[in-house]
C-alpha cells in the first residue's frame, strides 16, 4: 500500500489529549500515512514522543501500543468515577493556587507523570529517532517559546512542556526555568512548515476554535479566557503561515527552496470542538478511566469522519482553508 509522509502538529490540553490518542490510533491503523515529523505542547508533546518512540519499536503497531499503554496507565492513577465532576478537593486546590505557590501547595513536588513517562519511554533510544520532533516549552524569564528536539529529550523536557505552574514546580533544564509550552505555541507549526520534510501537515486541536455564544457565568468567563490564552498562539501562527504562502504563490520567478516548500505545503485539520467544548474545564486535570475512554472513542470517530471526507486528498491538496480559519 502506498503511504504519504505527513507531519503532525498536536495541541495540548491535559486529559483532553486522550482525544488526540484516539485520532492518532485511527490514523495509524490505516497504515496510509508515514509520520515524518511531529510537534506538540503539553499533552501533545507526550503524544508526539510516545508515537515516535513506539514507531522505533514496531512501526504502526508499536506506536499504537506505546500510546495506548501510556493513557491506560495514566487513567489508572486517577480512580475518580464521575466523568464530569472533578473532586471537590481539586477545585479547592485550584482556588488556593490564587494565593499560594506550587512550592507551598506541593512541597514535595509530587508529579505522577514523572515516573509514568520514565517507564514508558527509553529516552536513550528516542534520541536516535529518524522522526523529526519539536517539543514546545515556555521560557519563564523571557516568555519566549523554546523548542526541544529529539536528540536532547529526557523526562524533564516533557515535564517542562506540560508544567502548569499553579500545580507543579517550575522545571529547570540547564539552569533555565520552563513552564507549559501551550502558553507560547499550542502546537508549534512553524518548524513543521519551514524545517519539516513532509509536505502535508495534519493539525489536531483540542481547544475550541469557535464559540456560539457569549459566556454568562463567572466560571464560563474564566474558561473562555483560558481557551483564548492557550489558543491565541495558534491563530497567530496560522495567520503568519497564510501570509507566507500567499506571498510565495505570488512570486513569478527566482523561487528559493523556502518559497518552493511553502507553495507545496498542504494543511489539514482535525478538531475536537464538538467533544471538548461540552466538557468542564477542570476535566483537563482529571484523566480518569471513564473520561479517557470517552475521549479516545470520540477521537477515533472524529478521525474516521475526517478520513472519509478528506483522507484521499492528503498528498494532493490542502483541506484546511487558512484564510477562512483566521478570519
| Residue numbers annotated as active site | 42, 180
Q: Among residues 77, 78, 76, 53, which one has the least CA distance to residue 64?
A: 53
Return phi, psi of residue 42, to 5°.
55, -125
| CB-based contacts of 78, cutoff 8 Å, min separation 6 | 286, 287, 288, 289
Report the alpha-carbon distance of residue 227 to residue 221 in Å, rounded.
Answer: 10
3-state secondary structure 124-186: HHHCCCCCEEEEEEEECCCCCEEEEEHHHCCHHHHHHHCCCCCCCCCEEECCEEEEEHHHCCC
Residues 6+ apart with CB under 8 A from 67: 21, 24, 25, 47, 50, 51, 54
Instruction: Quote the CA–CA distance of 132 and 191 in Å, as a whole number.
Output: 10
SS3 31: coil
Q: Could you tell me which of 181, 191, 232, 189 has the C-alpha nearest to residue 208?
A: 232
Strand partners, 10: 40, 204
Residue 270, classed as helix, strand or coil, is strand
Q: Closest Cα partner for 141 from 104, 99, 173, 100?
A: 173
Q: 41 - beta bridge partners?
A: 136
d(CA 151, CA 205): 26
Amino acid at each position: 500500500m502506498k503511504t504519504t509522509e505527513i507531519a503532525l502538529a498536536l495541541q495540548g490540553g491535559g486529559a483532553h489529549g486522550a482525544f488526540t490518542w484516539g485520532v492518532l490510533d485511527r490514523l495509524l491503523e490505516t497504515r496510509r500515512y508515514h509520520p515524518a515529523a511531529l510537534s506538540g505542547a503539553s499533552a501533545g508533546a507526550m503524544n508526539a514522543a510516545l508515537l515516535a518512540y513506539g514507531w522505533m519499536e514496531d512501526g504502526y503497531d508499536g506506536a499504537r501500543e506505546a500510546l495506548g499503554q501510556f493513557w491506560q496507565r495514566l487513567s489508572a492513577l486517577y480512580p475518580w468515577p464521575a466523568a464530569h465532576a472533578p473532586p471537590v478537593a481539586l477545585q479547592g486546590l485550584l482556588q488556593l493556587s490564587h494565593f499560594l505557590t506550587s512550592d507551598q501547595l506541593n512541597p514535595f513536588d509530587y508529579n505522577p507523570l514523572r515516573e509514568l513517562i520514565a517507564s514508558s519511554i527509553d529516552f536513550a533510544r528516542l534520541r536516535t529517532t529518524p522522526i523529526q520532533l519539536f517539543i514546545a516549552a515556555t521560557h519563564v524569564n523571557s516568555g519566549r517559546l523554546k523548542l526541544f528536539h529529539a536528540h536532547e529529550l529526557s523526562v524533564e523536557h516533557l515535564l517542562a512542556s506540560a508544567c502548569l505552574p499553579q500545580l507543579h514546580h517550575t522545571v529547570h533544564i540547564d539552569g533555565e526555568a520552563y513552564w507549559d509550552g501551550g502558553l507560547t505555541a499550542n502546537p508549534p507549526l512553524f518548524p513543521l512548515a519551514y524545517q519539516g520534510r513532509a509536505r502535508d501537515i495534519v493539525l489536531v486541536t483540542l481547544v475550541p476554535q469557535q464559540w456560539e455564544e457569549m459566556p454568562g457565568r463567572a466560571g464560563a468567563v474564566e474558561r473562555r479566557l483560558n481557551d483564548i490564552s492557550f489558543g491565541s498562539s495558534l491563530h497567530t501562527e496560522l495567520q503568519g503561515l497564510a501570509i507566507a504562502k500567499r506571498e510565495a504563490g505570488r512570486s513569478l520567478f527566482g523561487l528559493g527552496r523556502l518559497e518552493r516548500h511553502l507553495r507545496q505545503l498542504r494543511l489539514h485539520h482535525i478538531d475536537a470542538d464538538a467533544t471538548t467544548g461540552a466538557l468542564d474545564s477542570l476535566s483537563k486535570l482529571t484523566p480518569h478511566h471513564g473520561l479517557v475512554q470517552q475521549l479516545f472513542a470520540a477521537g477515533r470517530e472524529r478521525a474516521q469522519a475526517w478520513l472519509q471526507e478528506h483522507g484521499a486528498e492528503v498528498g494532493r491538496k490542502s483541506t484546511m482553508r487558512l484564510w477562512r480559519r483566521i478570519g
